[in-house]
């Protein structure tokens, strides 16, 4: 948004972070002009465009001592987990991973609504989580969190831009959508 705003100083953004359902409802009822959601959707009213794919990784506090850089899901369940809430695209990816490995009852310590809340809870605990790499890469670089790969699995979650097809009649919306289509894959994730 910052890069777009540099060349469009008259445009004002009001950014809200909400769950997918609220974003979709907001775009459907014209409360929001454009939304970014986890996953994909099909609708006769809304247009959905894939922006990027988020590689999911294991994450812990930097103080948790795990000797490996790659863990299997069978090893992951030996740790208490803090996971995204049920119903989110990230959680669906995680649940599908456990299901494929026939893991029925992982030790879920907490379920939280935001990635920022999960990161804060992991930092203050001995729990681990599975999160999109794009949401933790700064924390890993600053050494606040450690990342681990998931053995035999490269899970990912897609991010899509959605907008109401009728909104294309507004020039500023059309310009922004065109910008995201051209540069979103490079800059978004």
- Is the whole model's pTM more than 0.95, yes or no? no
Q: What is the pLDDT of residues 68-108, one digit of tens each?
A: 999 999 999 899 999 998 877 788 889 988 998 999 889 99
Q: What is the pLDDT of residue 112?
A: 93
> Which pairing describes strands 81-84 and 70-71: parallel, antiparallel, or unpaired?
unpaired
* Residues facing residue 46 across a β-bridge: 164
Contact 188, 51 (CB under 8 A): yes
Distance in angstroms (rounded) separating the CA atoms of residues 13 and 44: 26
pLDDT band at 188 (very low <50, low <70, confident <90, very high): low
* Alpha carbon separation from 164 to 35, 51, 173, 174, 176 (Å, rounded): 10, 17, 10, 11, 13
> Which pairing describes strands 34-38 and 46-61: parallel, antiparallel, or unpaired?
unpaired
Instruction: Reply yes or no on whether the pLDDT at 187 is more than 70.
Output: no
């Amino acid at each position: 948004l910052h890069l777009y705003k540099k060349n469009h100083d008259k445009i004002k953004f009001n950014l809200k972070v909400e769950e997918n359902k609220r974003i979709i409802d907001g775009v459907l009822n014209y409360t929001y002009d454009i939304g970014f959601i986890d996953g994909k959707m099909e609708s006769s009213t809304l247009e959905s465009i894939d922006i990027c794919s988020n590689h999911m990784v294991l994450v812990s506090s930097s103080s948790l001592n795990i000797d490996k850089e790659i863990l299997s899901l069978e090893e992951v369940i030996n740790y208490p987990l803090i996971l995204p809430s049920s119903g989110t695209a990230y959680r669906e990816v995680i649940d599908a991973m456990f299901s494929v490995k026939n893991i029925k009852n992982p030790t879920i310590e907490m379920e939280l609504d935001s990635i920022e809340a999960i990161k804060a809870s992991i930092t203050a605990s001995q729990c681990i989580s599975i999160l999109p790499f794009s949401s933790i890469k700064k924390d890993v670089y600053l050494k606040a969190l450690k990342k681990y790969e998931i053995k035999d699995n490269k899970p990912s979650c897609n991010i899509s831009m959605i907008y109401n097809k009728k909104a294309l009649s507004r020039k500023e919306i059309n310009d922004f959508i065109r910008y995201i289509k051209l540069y979103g894959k490079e800059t978004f994730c």
